[in-house]
Structure 1
Amino acid sequence: LTERDVVKLIGSGQPDVSVGELATFPLISIPASSSLYQARKQFIENNIRHLGVSDDDGDLLGLISFADILANIESEYIRELEEMLKERDEVLAISNRHLRLAATVFESTHEGIFVTDADQLIESVNPAFTMITGYEAHQVIGKKPSILASGTHDAAFYESMYKTLALVGHWQGEIWNRRRDGEIYVEWITINAVKDDAGQVLNYVSIFSDITNRKAAEEKMSFLAQHDALTSLPNRVLLEDRLLRAISHAERNNRKLAVIFIDLVDFKKINDSIGHHAGDQLLQIVAQKLSACVRSEDTVARLGGDEFVVLLEEIGVKDNIPLVVTKILDAVSRPVVLEGQPVSVRSSIGISVYPEDGQDADDLIRHADAAMYRAKMQGPNTFCFCTPLVDSESPDSR
């Protein structure tokens, strides 16, 4: 019997009704340790308004109504809802921080960034994109990245790139593009596909750096590793590489080749009297003269100091060699003006011929050097062919 039942009885004008008639039957009880959800289940299954709560010994501790259950469940629901909303707000706050960070990176990075839709139409670019390419955002949005194409790469290059993107969702490499002002530059670019949960491409995000200067520096270092810094002629490393390939070719085709070793006579005196700058100019002029005396497929190299080597390939007969050597002697000896003074330089030349004077690069160069030493003993503007028995020793051993 509850207070509500008594109030209802008095209000009905029947105060003499016994309490037994008003009591709820049957009185079902549950352990005090039961959950609100278990109590709610008892209310619904037994269609009762009150439920007894008993201790571990079965003694009645009190009553609980369905309204009490609902109030407590509602309170629990509200608490859980508040916790869920709090967690959502925390996740949103973290997400917003990440978005702000991404926006800051997008705007401030020195790497160019552009985002396209699934059809490769540009949707957004960052300030670095404009700095590198010269294009403002409004000039490229809605257009394809091919607006930057330089024409350096063929259709097969781009087909391969897009095929890789479709297969693995990622591509990176070097691309030669063109700035708005027409200048061609090279960039290192990484492209990533952004997909939805179903695996459909939503966007492509491209991040690139202008590596033109770095590329030029690398190419310069590579060039200097195989070329003389003063004259830009091949150095000994590149000469020996070309000589090895020329020997292999001559052997396969039963051809001859010649190694012409050139030493400038009295270069040290000219260098000391006029100055090192003038000496450097003279070496550059001689390099140009030598290059003009031979074919494009031949090689003119500087070994260092005042020593040069000419590699003549595809020689039909040995008798043709003196024609080239005489041309070299005449060209080198023509006077030039250095620091306002007319200067003439003479040379001594030694010649070795493959295969009779040597089977490898070292022997051919060494024998040509020895022949040059004999020519120098005979006087300026002379040349000597290798004589194996005489030139088998290096000049330093004499």
Structure 2
Amino acid sequence: MNLMNESIEVFPWNDNFSTGIPLIDEQHKRLIHLINLLACGLAYQSDTAELDRIFSELADYAAYHFKTEEAVWHNHLAGDEWEEEHKNSHNRFVADLIELKSKKDHVSVNETLKDVLSFLTHWLAFHILESDKHMSKVALGLQSGMTLTEAKLQAAADMSGSMKVLIETVLSMYDTLSSRTLELIKEVIDRQKAEAKLRLAANAIENTLEAICITDQCANIIDANPAFQQITQQSLNALIGKNLRELKSGLNNEPLFTGIIATLAEEGHWSGEVKSRSQAGETYTDWLTLSSIKDEYGAISNYVGIFSNFSRLSGQWHELQHMANHDALTGLPNRLLLADRMELAMAHAERTGSFLAICYLDLDNFKPVNDTLGHTAGDLVLREVSKRLQSHLRLNDTVSRVGGDEFVILLNDLHKPDDFEELLVRILSEICLPIGIREQHVFVTGSIGVTQFPHDRGEADMLLAHADSAMYQAKNLGKSRYQLYQIAKAN
């Protein structure tokens, strides 16, 4: 199950959020996507490292978005007080986000994520629906031929009434979320086991992958499926007659168990985390869903318990997320992930005053290997080259396979424009080494084109095109070398 498609949408995109300016709308969609990823992180209890990654991505993408947005408003409202106030709102956002990040060392990860979700939902509601939408209406009015005064009056009229109702509706979305935070995980897991719901039918119990047991009204087990037998490491005969509390030590908490029974009697079901200890002494966490079954007289006769393991579900999420963003052959980031990392790397370079080198690599003499020895041999060459590239990069650098025998390398946090040169020399030397295939050696080389940001300014696609152009210059100059894109010459 792909959680990127089945995501928890605490802030679903709606056409009412559109400003009418496509570039800004696309970036707003990206910010909303990050909020929904945070909700998934909350549901799956992300660790501190993941929280730091999300904070960094938010800060870098927000800086990138603010720069774009301010340029758009400047074209229409240069010198107007609205432009200055909009910049101030951006600065306040960054300050508030930094303050939230500083809290993570003093409160739990989950509490910090709740605060971030609350902050972002409220901020985006007012920023997108009120501030940005208001300014876009003025900008579009100016484009249609209105004067600034006329455009502001028309925008004010458009923003009255129903728009305020819309903002209040969006804000109420988070209020609903915050009151059901603990239920969020249950809803995600329930969606994955929709066909395994609390049935007494023996066939369903026998074949589901979820661990299910049926007890009498005293919680003594009368049946259990193979999955339950596996996690308890006991046969069905050994399980029958045992009390559920004997098998799940977390239920031995008397106040907890009493509360569960009371909830089952009143509402018919209960869900929550249960921590237990395995026979080997290891502590693990299950998500337990208990439901009561009533007889024909309305009295509780049985309970059905379904156990889901958090570790397995979290592992599936990360595996599917990796598949969507990585090349199947080499395991390297694909074009989709490269685009995101370029945006973040460019924003990071702007924010920190560092340099970013965009390196476009194409293998020389790869086609003869592929044509002569076949695609299987070609795939082996690509995988070996990928390993060699990764072995020379730092953790904060990126190497992506963008198609065929072409790769893009992003070198971040360079302190001087020429800091990349020694690394590229090592990479080119490594690529030249023989590759063993079918008891023979094949040889390929690499040509690399390089451009630097922010020395070379432009959108990500333009920077890639410049690096690609420099790569062809390297090929024309003899291959197995790198060539820096010459901005002045190109102009």
TM-score bracket for this pair, using the shorter chain length: 0.5 to 0.7
Which residue in the other structure is 2:321 paired with? 222
Residue pair 2:450, 2:471 contacting (<8 A) in 1 also: yes
Q: Does 1:265 align with 2:364?
A: yes
2:221 matches 1:123: yes
Counterpart residue identity of residue 286, structure 1: V
Residues 368 and 180 from structure 1, CA distance in 2 versus in 1: closer, same or farther, beyond 3 angstroms? farther
Q: 1:299 to 1:182 in 2, by over 3 A?
A: farther
The corresponding residue for 2:331 is: 232
Pairwise CA RMSD of aligned residues? 4.6
**SS of the residue aligned with 1:135?**
coil
More relative contact order, 1 or 2 (CA 8 Å, 6+ apart):
2
Map of 1:72 onto structure 2: none
**Match for residue 304 of structure 1?**
403
Q: Distance in 1 between matches of 2:406 and 2:261?
A: 53
Q: 1:216 to 1:174 in 2, by over 3 A?
A: farther
Residues 162 and 104 of structure 1, relative CA distance in 2, 3 Å threshold = closer
* 1:18 equivalent in structure 2: none
Contact 1:148–1:179 under 8 Å retained in 2 = no
- Considering fraction of residues, name the structure with more strand: 1
Q: Would the alpha carbon gap of residues 184 and 311 (structure 1) be closer, same or farther in structure 2, given more than 3 Å must change? A: farther
CA distance in structure 2 between the partners assigned to 1:330 and 1:182 by the alignment: 51
Matched residue, 1:345? 444
Question: Hey, what's the Cα distance between the residues in 1 that align with 2:270 and 2:468?
Answer: 53
Residues 107, 127 of structure 1: 8 Å contact kept: no
CA positional deviation for 1:297: 1.7
User: Secondary structure of the residue that 1:326 maps to in structure 2?
Assistant: helix
Tell me the equivalent position of 1:377: 476
Unaligned runs of 5+ in 1: 1-101, 150-157, 393-398
1:214 Cα deviation after fit: 9.1
Please list, as runs of the form range in 1=range in 2, the aligned pairs for 1:242-321 lying within 5 A after superposition.
242-321=341-420
Q: Which of the two has higher C-alpha Rg?
A: 1
Instruction: Give secondary structure in 1 for the equivalent of 2:384.
Output: helix
1:337 partner letter: G
For 1:283 and 1:375, the matched residues in 2 are separated by 20
1:24 is matched with: none
Structure 1: distance between partners of 2:342 and 2:369: 32
Do the aligned partners of 1:188 and 1:211 also contact (CA within 8 Å) in 2? yes
Q: For structure 1, which segment, 287-296 or 104-113, has the greater mean C-alpha deviation from structure 2 after superposition?
A: 104-113
Q: Distance in 2 between matches of 1:369 and 1:174?
A: 53
User: Does residue 388 of the first structure (1) align with residue 487 of the second (2)?
Assistant: yes
TM alignment of 1:126-275, pairs within 5 A: 126-130=224-228, 132-133=230-231, 134-137=233-236, 138-139=238-239, 141-144=242-245, 147=248, 170-171=269-270, 190-192=289-291, 205-208=304-307, 220-275=319-374
Greater share of helix residues, 1 or 2? 2
Please state if 1:110 is matched with 2:207. Answer: yes
Once the two structures are superposed, residues 73-108 of structure 1 have per-residue CA deviations (whole angstroms, 9 ceiling, x without a partner) of xxxxxxxxxxxxxxxxxxxxxxxxxxxxx7654895
Do the aligned residues in 2 keep the contact of 1:107 with 1:126 (CA within 8 Å)?
A: no
Whole-Å Cα distance in 2 between the matches of residues 236 and 174 of structure 1? Answer: 39
Q: Is the 8 A contact 1:114 1:129 kept in 2?
A: no
Distance 1:296 1:163 in 2: 50
360-369 or 313-322, larger mean C-alpha shift: 360-369
Q: Secondary structure at the match of 1:347?
A: strand
2:281 and 2:348 mapped to 1: Cα distance?
Answer: 43
Shift of 1:283: 0.5
Identical amino acids, percent of aligned pairs? 34
**Aligned partners of 1:114 and 1:123 also within 8 Å:** yes
CA distance in 2, matches of 1:364, 1:275: 34
Taking the aligned partners of 2:470 and 2:283, their CA distance within structure 1 comes to 50
Number of residues of Structure 1 aligned to a counterpart in Structure 2: 280
Deviation at 1:222, TM superposition (A): 3.3
Change (3 A) 1:135 1:240: same
Which of 413, 435, 446 aligns to 1:336? It is: 435
Give TM-score scaled by structure 2 length: 0.47
Distance in 2 of aligned mates of 1:389 and 1:175: 65
Q: Match of 2:328, SS?
A: coil
- Cα 1:331–1:139 shift into 2, 3 Å: same
The TM-score normalised by the length of structure 1 is: 0.57
Taking a change above 3 Å as real, the CA distance of residues 162 and 358 of structure 1, as seen in their structure-2 partners, is farther
